[in-house]
Amino acid sequence: MKKFMEEHRKKFGDFEVIEFVDEQAVESLRKHTACDVPLTLNWTWEYGSEVAELRRLYEKGKVNQWNAETELDWDTPVTKDEWVLNPEGSMLAQACALMGKDEATQKAAAFDELAYLMSQLLHGEQAALQLCGQLTNLCDKMDQKWYAASQVVDEARHIEVISKFLQRKMGTIYPVGGTLKFLLDELLEAEGVQKKTLGMQCLFEGTAVGIMDLMRSESRNALFSHMMEKVEQDESRHAAFGVLTMRRVVQEASENEMHEMEDWAFQVLEALNANQQLDMLAHLGPKYDIDGEAMTRMFTGMAEFADINSRAFMHTVVPNLKRLGLITERTESGWRKVGMMVDERAGKPAAGLPEVS
Protein backbone atom coordinates (compact mmCIF):
# COMPACT_ATOMS: atom_id res chain seq x y z
CA MET A 1 0.00 0.00 0.00
CA LYS A 2 2.73 2.40 1.05
CA LYS A 3 4.63 2.00 -2.21
CA PHE A 4 1.60 2.58 -4.42
CA MET A 5 0.62 5.71 -2.55
CA GLU A 6 4.18 7.03 -2.57
CA GLU A 7 4.19 6.99 -6.37
CA HIS A 8 1.45 9.63 -6.35
CA ARG A 9 2.82 11.85 -3.60
CA LYS A 10 3.90 15.42 -3.96
CA LYS A 11 5.31 17.90 -1.42
CA PHE A 12 3.50 21.16 -0.71
CA GLY A 13 5.82 22.82 1.79
CA ASP A 14 5.55 20.68 4.93
CA PHE A 15 2.45 18.94 3.64
CA GLU A 16 2.33 15.91 1.38
CA VAL A 17 -0.58 15.37 -0.98
CA ILE A 18 -1.66 12.45 -3.14
CA GLU A 19 -2.54 13.40 -6.66
CA PHE A 20 -3.40 11.16 -9.57
CA VAL A 21 -2.28 13.14 -12.59
CA ASP A 22 -2.52 10.03 -14.71
CA GLU A 23 -6.20 9.61 -15.56
CA GLN A 24 -5.44 6.16 -16.99
CA ALA A 25 -4.27 4.93 -13.57
CA VAL A 26 -7.54 6.10 -12.04
CA GLU A 27 -9.54 4.47 -14.83
CA SER A 28 -7.82 1.15 -14.29
CA LEU A 29 -8.62 1.40 -10.56
CA ARG A 30 -12.28 2.02 -11.45
CA LYS A 31 -12.33 -0.88 -13.89
CA HIS A 32 -11.06 -3.18 -11.16
CA THR A 33 -14.58 -4.32 -10.25
CA ALA A 34 -13.95 -8.03 -9.67
CA CYS A 35 -11.93 -8.17 -6.45
CA ASP A 36 -10.14 -11.30 -5.34
CA VAL A 37 -11.17 -11.61 -1.70
CA PRO A 38 -9.67 -14.26 0.58
CA LEU A 39 -12.54 -15.34 2.83
CA THR A 40 -12.75 -17.96 5.54
CA LEU A 41 -16.30 -18.94 6.26
CA ASN A 42 -16.99 -19.84 9.86
CA TRP A 43 -19.94 -21.91 10.99
CA THR A 44 -21.05 -21.76 14.61
CA TRP A 45 -23.33 -24.16 16.48
CA GLU A 46 -23.84 -21.80 19.39
CA TYR A 47 -27.17 -20.11 18.76
CA GLY A 48 -27.48 -18.45 22.16
CA SER A 49 -26.09 -14.95 22.77
CA GLU A 50 -22.41 -14.87 23.71
CA VAL A 51 -21.65 -11.15 23.38
CA ALA A 52 -24.38 -9.23 25.18
CA GLU A 53 -23.25 -5.78 24.01
CA LEU A 54 -23.45 -6.85 20.36
CA ARG A 55 -26.87 -8.36 20.88
CA ARG A 56 -28.02 -5.02 22.35
CA LEU A 57 -26.65 -3.18 19.33
CA TYR A 58 -28.50 -5.59 17.02
CA GLU A 59 -31.74 -4.98 18.96
CA LYS A 60 -31.17 -1.21 18.76
CA GLY A 61 -30.71 -1.53 14.99
CA LYS A 62 -34.02 -3.39 14.62
CA VAL A 63 -35.92 -0.69 16.49
CA ASN A 64 -34.31 2.08 14.44
CA GLN A 65 -34.99 0.74 10.95
CA TRP A 66 -36.48 3.28 8.54
CA ASN A 67 -37.74 3.34 4.98
CA ALA A 68 -35.81 5.67 2.67
CA GLU A 69 -38.71 5.97 0.25
CA THR A 70 -41.42 6.92 2.75
CA GLU A 71 -39.51 8.50 5.66
CA LEU A 72 -38.28 11.53 3.72
CA ASP A 73 -40.29 14.24 2.03
CA TRP A 74 -38.99 13.77 -1.52
CA ASP A 75 -41.12 16.69 -2.76
CA THR A 76 -38.77 19.15 -1.03
CA PRO A 77 -36.92 21.09 -3.75
CA VAL A 78 -33.12 21.04 -3.87
CA THR A 79 -31.72 23.42 -6.48
CA LYS A 80 -28.57 25.15 -7.69
CA ASP A 81 -30.27 28.46 -6.84
CA GLU A 82 -30.12 27.89 -3.11
CA TRP A 83 -27.42 27.37 -0.52
CA VAL A 84 -28.00 23.70 0.30
CA LEU A 85 -25.16 24.04 2.82
CA ASN A 86 -23.82 27.25 4.33
CA PRO A 87 -21.42 28.92 1.87
CA GLU A 88 -18.55 28.66 4.42
CA GLY A 89 -18.84 24.87 4.07
CA SER A 90 -17.87 24.92 0.39
CA MET A 91 -14.26 25.25 -0.71
CA LEU A 92 -15.30 25.98 -4.32
CA ALA A 93 -17.87 28.62 -3.37
CA GLN A 94 -15.33 30.42 -1.23
CA ALA A 95 -12.77 30.32 -4.02
CA CYS A 96 -15.37 31.71 -6.46
CA ALA A 97 -16.18 34.51 -3.99
CA LEU A 98 -12.48 35.39 -3.67
CA MET A 99 -12.22 35.55 -7.45
CA GLY A 100 -15.15 38.00 -7.56
CA LYS A 101 -17.62 35.63 -9.22
CA ASP A 102 -21.32 36.38 -8.64
CA GLU A 103 -23.50 34.64 -6.06
CA ALA A 104 -25.28 32.46 -8.64
CA THR A 105 -21.90 31.00 -9.70
CA GLN A 106 -20.88 30.49 -6.06
CA LYS A 107 -24.11 28.59 -5.39
CA ALA A 108 -23.69 26.44 -8.51
CA ALA A 109 -20.10 25.63 -7.49
CA ALA A 110 -21.20 24.65 -3.97
CA PHE A 111 -23.94 22.47 -5.48
CA ASP A 112 -21.43 20.65 -7.72
CA GLU A 113 -19.03 20.19 -4.82
CA LEU A 114 -21.78 18.70 -2.66
CA ALA A 115 -22.80 16.31 -5.45
CA TYR A 116 -19.16 15.23 -5.76
CA LEU A 117 -18.78 14.63 -2.01
CA MET A 118 -22.11 12.78 -1.76
CA SER A 119 -21.05 10.61 -4.73
CA GLN A 120 -17.87 9.62 -2.88
CA LEU A 121 -19.93 8.82 0.23
CA LEU A 122 -22.22 6.72 -1.97
CA HIS A 123 -19.29 4.66 -3.30
CA GLY A 124 -18.09 4.28 0.30
CA GLU A 125 -21.56 2.99 1.25
CA GLN A 126 -21.30 0.35 -1.44
CA ALA A 127 -17.94 -0.75 -0.02
CA ALA A 128 -19.49 -0.92 3.47
CA LEU A 129 -22.29 -3.13 2.13
CA GLN A 130 -19.80 -5.51 0.52
CA LEU A 131 -17.57 -5.59 3.57
CA CYS A 132 -20.42 -6.33 6.00
CA GLY A 133 -21.52 -9.15 3.74
CA GLN A 134 -18.01 -10.57 4.14
CA LEU A 135 -18.26 -10.21 7.93
CA THR A 136 -21.39 -12.37 8.07
CA ASN A 137 -19.15 -15.21 6.75
CA LEU A 138 -15.94 -14.37 8.55
CA CYS A 139 -17.18 -13.73 12.10
CA ASP A 140 -17.36 -16.79 14.31
CA LYS A 141 -20.03 -15.74 16.81
CA MET A 142 -23.75 -15.65 16.06
CA ASP A 143 -24.14 -12.20 17.69
CA GLN A 144 -21.54 -10.84 15.26
CA LYS A 145 -23.23 -12.50 12.27
CA TRP A 146 -26.63 -11.10 13.23
CA TYR A 147 -25.21 -7.65 13.77
CA ALA A 148 -23.25 -7.68 10.48
CA ALA A 149 -26.34 -8.91 8.61
CA SER A 150 -28.40 -6.06 10.06
CA GLN A 151 -25.73 -3.62 8.94
CA VAL A 152 -25.93 -5.02 5.40
CA VAL A 153 -29.58 -3.87 5.37
CA ASP A 154 -28.58 -0.45 6.76
CA GLU A 155 -25.92 -0.01 4.08
CA ALA A 156 -28.34 -1.02 1.32
CA ARG A 157 -30.69 1.69 2.60
CA HIS A 158 -27.85 4.24 2.60
CA ILE A 159 -27.00 3.39 -0.99
CA GLU A 160 -30.70 3.68 -1.82
CA VAL A 161 -31.22 7.04 -0.12
CA ILE A 162 -28.01 8.73 -1.31
CA SER A 163 -28.31 7.47 -4.90
CA LYS A 164 -31.96 8.62 -5.03
CA PHE A 165 -30.95 11.99 -3.62
CA LEU A 166 -28.23 12.36 -6.25
CA GLN A 167 -30.37 11.13 -9.14
CA ARG A 168 -33.61 12.90 -8.23
CA LYS A 169 -32.28 16.10 -6.70
CA MET A 170 -28.74 16.75 -7.90
CA GLY A 171 -28.75 15.14 -11.33
CA THR A 172 -25.23 13.66 -11.24
CA ILE A 173 -23.35 10.75 -9.72
CA TYR A 174 -19.63 11.41 -10.04
CA PRO A 175 -17.18 8.50 -10.47
CA VAL A 176 -15.18 7.25 -7.50
CA GLY A 177 -11.92 9.13 -6.84
CA GLY A 178 -8.61 7.28 -7.30
CA THR A 179 -7.36 7.47 -3.71
CA LEU A 180 -10.74 6.44 -2.29
CA LYS A 181 -11.06 3.46 -4.66
CA PHE A 182 -7.55 2.31 -3.78
CA LEU A 183 -8.21 2.51 -0.03
CA LEU A 184 -11.62 0.80 -0.23
CA ASP A 185 -10.06 -2.07 -2.21
CA GLU A 186 -7.35 -2.32 0.45
CA LEU A 187 -10.04 -2.96 3.10
CA LEU A 188 -12.22 -5.23 0.98
CA GLU A 189 -9.27 -7.39 -0.07
CA ALA A 190 -7.69 -7.50 3.41
CA GLU A 191 -7.50 -10.84 5.11
CA GLY A 192 -9.26 -11.45 8.42
CA VAL A 193 -11.90 -9.84 10.61
CA GLN A 194 -9.41 -7.66 12.44
CA LYS A 195 -8.19 -5.53 9.53
CA LYS A 196 -11.62 -5.33 7.93
CA THR A 197 -13.25 -4.22 11.17
CA LEU A 198 -10.52 -1.74 12.02
CA GLY A 199 -10.47 -0.38 8.48
CA MET A 200 -14.13 -0.14 7.62
CA GLN A 201 -15.95 -0.01 10.96
CA CYS A 202 -13.51 2.16 12.88
CA LEU A 203 -11.62 4.24 10.32
CA PHE A 204 -14.12 4.77 7.50
CA GLU A 205 -17.36 4.66 9.49
CA GLY A 206 -15.81 6.87 12.17
CA THR A 207 -14.64 9.42 9.61
CA ALA A 208 -18.00 9.25 7.80
CA VAL A 209 -19.86 10.08 11.03
CA GLY A 210 -17.61 13.14 11.44
CA ILE A 211 -18.17 14.31 7.84
CA MET A 212 -21.93 13.73 8.00
CA ASP A 213 -22.23 15.56 11.30
CA LEU A 214 -20.35 18.53 9.86
CA MET A 215 -22.55 18.59 6.75
CA ARG A 216 -25.74 18.29 8.78
CA SER A 217 -24.69 21.20 10.98
CA GLU A 218 -24.08 23.31 7.84
CA SER A 219 -27.30 22.28 6.07
CA ARG A 220 -29.98 24.80 5.09
CA ASN A 221 -32.16 22.31 3.23
CA ALA A 222 -34.79 20.30 5.16
CA LEU A 223 -34.57 17.18 2.97
CA PHE A 224 -30.78 17.09 3.12
CA SER A 225 -30.79 17.61 6.92
CA HIS A 226 -33.34 14.86 7.45
CA MET A 227 -31.46 12.41 5.22
CA MET A 228 -28.17 13.12 6.99
CA GLU A 229 -29.75 12.81 10.42
CA LYS A 230 -31.19 9.37 9.61
CA VAL A 231 -28.00 8.04 7.97
CA GLU A 232 -25.79 9.43 10.74
CA GLN A 233 -27.87 7.61 13.40
CA ASP A 234 -27.18 4.32 11.65
CA GLU A 235 -23.52 5.17 11.11
CA SER A 236 -22.84 5.85 14.79
CA ARG A 237 -24.25 2.38 15.53
CA HIS A 238 -21.83 1.00 12.94
CA ALA A 239 -18.87 2.87 14.41
CA ALA A 240 -19.92 1.51 17.84
CA PHE A 241 -19.70 -2.05 16.48
CA GLY A 242 -16.17 -1.23 15.33
CA VAL A 243 -15.19 -0.05 18.80
CA LEU A 244 -16.81 -3.00 20.60
CA THR A 245 -15.13 -5.50 18.29
CA MET A 246 -11.75 -3.79 18.32
CA ARG A 247 -11.84 -3.48 22.11
CA ARG A 248 -11.80 -7.29 22.28
CA VAL A 249 -9.08 -7.48 19.61
CA VAL A 250 -6.72 -5.04 21.35
CA GLN A 251 -7.15 -6.80 24.70
CA GLU A 252 -5.64 -9.92 23.17
CA ALA A 253 -3.06 -8.27 20.88
CA SER A 254 0.70 -8.44 21.47
CA GLU A 255 2.80 -5.27 21.46
CA ASN A 256 3.93 -5.98 17.91
CA GLU A 257 0.36 -6.51 16.71
CA MET A 258 -0.67 -3.26 18.40
CA HIS A 259 2.11 -1.38 16.62
CA GLU A 260 1.13 -2.91 13.32
CA MET A 261 -2.55 -1.93 13.71
CA GLU A 262 -1.59 1.53 14.94
CA ASP A 263 0.66 2.16 11.93
CA TRP A 264 -1.83 0.77 9.44
CA ALA A 265 -4.66 2.91 10.85
CA PHE A 266 -2.49 5.98 10.41
CA GLN A 267 -1.44 5.01 6.87
CA VAL A 268 -5.03 4.53 5.71
CA LEU A 269 -6.42 7.78 7.09
CA GLU A 270 -3.30 9.77 6.33
CA ALA A 271 -3.66 8.74 2.67
CA LEU A 272 -7.31 9.82 2.68
CA ASN A 273 -6.31 13.12 4.29
CA ALA A 274 -3.37 13.62 1.92
CA ASN A 275 -5.74 13.52 -1.03
CA GLN A 276 -7.01 16.89 0.24
CA GLN A 277 -9.89 17.04 -2.19
CA LEU A 278 -7.52 17.06 -5.14
CA ASP A 279 -9.71 14.54 -6.99
CA MET A 280 -12.70 16.86 -6.56
CA LEU A 281 -10.68 19.90 -7.61
CA ALA A 282 -9.29 18.07 -10.64
CA HIS A 283 -12.87 17.27 -11.67
CA LEU A 284 -14.62 20.55 -10.91
CA GLY A 285 -11.89 23.17 -10.65
CA PRO A 286 -11.55 23.87 -14.40
CA LYS A 287 -15.30 24.55 -14.70
CA TYR A 288 -14.88 27.52 -12.32
CA ASP A 289 -11.34 28.57 -13.44
CA ILE A 290 -9.93 27.22 -10.20
CA ASP A 291 -6.40 25.85 -10.09
CA GLY A 292 -6.75 22.84 -7.77
CA GLU A 293 -3.10 22.75 -6.89
CA ALA A 294 -2.89 26.44 -5.99
CA MET A 295 -6.08 26.10 -3.95
CA THR A 296 -4.73 23.10 -2.00
CA ARG A 297 -1.41 24.86 -1.46
CA MET A 298 -3.25 27.85 -0.02
CA PHE A 299 -5.51 25.72 2.21
CA THR A 300 -2.76 23.50 3.63
CA GLY A 301 -0.62 26.58 4.26
CA MET A 302 -3.27 28.46 6.27
CA ALA A 303 -2.62 29.10 10.00
CA GLU A 304 -6.05 27.60 10.84
CA PHE A 305 -5.50 24.57 8.59
CA ALA A 306 -5.25 21.95 11.36
CA ASP A 307 -8.27 23.38 13.20
CA ILE A 308 -10.49 23.23 10.12
CA ASN A 309 -9.06 20.04 8.66
CA SER A 310 -9.20 18.02 11.88
CA ARG A 311 -12.92 18.57 12.56
CA ALA A 312 -14.16 15.44 10.80
CA PHE A 313 -11.40 13.30 12.36
CA MET A 314 -11.71 14.70 15.89
CA HIS A 315 -15.46 14.01 15.95
CA THR A 316 -15.29 10.23 16.32
CA VAL A 317 -12.39 8.39 14.76
CA VAL A 318 -9.42 9.97 16.57
CA PRO A 319 -11.01 9.83 20.07
CA ASN A 320 -11.99 6.18 19.46
CA LEU A 321 -8.52 5.19 18.25
CA LYS A 322 -6.98 6.91 21.29
CA ARG A 323 -9.26 5.02 23.65
CA LEU A 324 -8.44 1.77 21.90
CA GLY A 325 -4.72 2.45 22.37
CA LEU A 326 -4.20 2.77 18.62
CA ILE A 327 -2.90 6.34 18.80
CA THR A 328 -0.09 6.51 21.33
CA GLU A 329 2.86 8.77 22.13
CA ARG A 330 4.77 6.85 19.46
CA THR A 331 2.47 8.03 16.64
CA GLU A 332 0.56 11.05 17.98
CA SER A 333 2.95 13.61 16.51
CA GLY A 334 2.30 12.12 13.04
CA TRP A 335 -1.45 12.76 13.34
CA ARG A 336 -0.78 16.31 14.50
CA LYS A 337 1.74 17.03 11.77
CA VAL A 338 -0.76 16.34 8.99
CA GLY A 339 -3.57 18.31 10.66
CA MET A 340 -5.77 15.37 11.67
CA MET A 341 -5.46 15.95 15.39
CA VAL A 342 -5.62 19.07 17.55
CA ASP A 343 -5.67 19.57 21.31
CA GLU A 344 -8.96 21.16 22.19
CA ARG A 345 -11.24 18.39 21.01
CA ALA A 346 -8.99 15.49 21.98
CA GLY A 347 -10.61 12.90 24.22
CA LYS A 348 -14.12 14.28 23.85
CA PRO A 349 -16.46 11.28 23.70
CA ALA A 350 -18.44 11.06 20.50
CA ALA A 351 -22.21 11.02 20.89
CA GLY A 352 -23.77 7.60 21.12
CA LEU A 353 -20.49 5.70 21.14
CA PRO A 354 -19.48 3.39 23.95
CA GLU A 355 -16.61 4.42 26.21
CA VAL A 356 -13.63 2.14 25.95
CA SER A 357 -12.18 1.34 29.35
For residues 68 and 164, the answer to whether their CB atoms sit within 8 Å is yes
Q: What is the DSSP string of 12-59?
A: ETTEEEE----HHHHHHHHH--S-------------S-S-HHHHHHHH
Q: How far apart are CA 158 and CA 237, in angstroms?
A: 14
**Site mask for Fe ion (CB under 5 A), range 219-258, x = bound:** ----------------x--x--------------------
If the CB atoms of residues 112 and 205 are measured against Fe ion, the closer one turns out to be 205
Three-class secondary structure of residue 168 per DSSP = helix
Q: Does 107 sit near Fe ion (CB under 5 A)? A: no
Q: Does 157 sit near Fe ion (CB under 5 A)? A: no
Which residues 185-224 are close enough to bind Fe ion by CB under 5 A? Answer: 205
Q: How far apart are CA 349 and CA 341, in angstroms?
A: 15
Q: What's the chain's Rg over C-alpha atoms?
A: 20
Least CB distance to Fe ion at residue 11 (A)? 34
Separation of first and last alpha carbons in the chain: 32
Least CB distance to Fe ion at residue 304 (A)? 30
Amino acid letter, 89: G
- In the chain the beta strands, taken as DSSP E runs, fall at 9-12, 15-18
Q: How far apart are CA 19 and CA 131, in angstroms?
A: 26
If the CB atoms of residues 115 and 128 are measured against Fe ion, the closer one turns out to be 128
Least CB distance to Fe ion at residue 16 (A)? 29
Q: Does 317 sit near Fe ion (CB under 5 A)? A: no
Residue from 145, 158, 169, 230 in contact with Fe ion (CB under 5 A)? 158
If the CB atoms of residues 148 and 290 are measured against Fe ion, the closer one turns out to be 148
**Total number of residues binding Fe ion (CB under 5 A)?**
7
Which residues 272-311 are close enough to bind Fe ion by CB under 5 A? Answer: none
If the CB atoms of residues 26 and 121 are measured against Fe ion, the closer one turns out to be 121
Q: Does 123 sit near Fe ion (CB under 5 A)? A: no
The number of helix segments (H) and strand segments (E) in the chain equals: 18, 2
For residues 279 and 177, the answer to whether their CB atoms sit within 8 Å is yes
Residue from 17, 85, 128, 170 in contact with Fe ion (CB under 5 A)? 128
Least CB distance to Fe ion at residue 125 (A)? 5
If the CB atoms of residues 128 and 282 are measured against Fe ion, the closer one turns out to be 128
If the CB atoms of residues 15 and 224 are measured against Fe ion, the closer one turns out to be 224
| Beta bridge partners of residue 9, listed in sequence order | 18
Residues forming contacts to Fe ion in the complex (CB under 5 A) are: 125, 128, 155, 158, 205, 235, 238
